[in-house]
Structure 1
């Protein structure tokens, strides 16, 4: 019991917001179409951050876009809707993506 609690406490200490966000990207299969720094099927996270840098409404726009899906902004390949992703996780993911440099 003590070892389990110690392991959980250590994990909480070393898990950063960026690590948690990357884990969410894996959990929701975002990495099947996106990567950190190069185009896969969709744009890289760095490209997204660059495109929306300085746009005060970017977070809300991207949360809605990821939830509902869409096409036309990055080419003809549509992004499917992701209604299974909670609003809290969407906000965390989008904030993380927009923070990429």
Structure 2
């Protein structure tokens, strides 16, 4: 019985350490502002591009979503959300892209 309890405790601890809080929304907003992302995107409504919450919903069950979104941010994309292409953002750092993608996939919390 004790071994089972220890095993369960270890499993729960491991699962808890894998859970990650969404990145700080204020820091992400600063990244979005400084890289002109907010000219085309909003958190909860479509502008030129999709709302961040819509992007999160579309990719919620996609195991490759983080890589895909990071690539779209860095290299741009076309035909994903309609005819208007997303321009590439080659000057945004990989660390900033990682924070933004984590925030989006967490549901774009405010």
Q: Same fold (TM over 0.5)?
A: yes
Normalising by the residue count of structure 2, what TM-score does the alignment of the two structures yield? 0.75
Give the superposition deviation at 1:73: 0.8
- Write out the 4+ residue segments of structure 1 that deviate beyond 2 Å after TM superposition: none
Equivalent position of 2:102 in the other structure: 95
| Partners of 1:98 and 1:77 in 2: CA distance | 22
**Could you list the runs of 5+ residues in structure 1 that have no partner in the other structure?**
1-15
Structure ID, larger Rg = 2
CA RMSD, aligned part only? 1.2
| Partners of 1:83 and 1:35 in 2: CA distance | 21
**Could you list the runs of 5+ residues in structure 2 that have no partner in the other structure?**
1-22
- Give the one of 28, 36, 49 matched to 1:21: 28
- Give the number of aligned pairs: 86
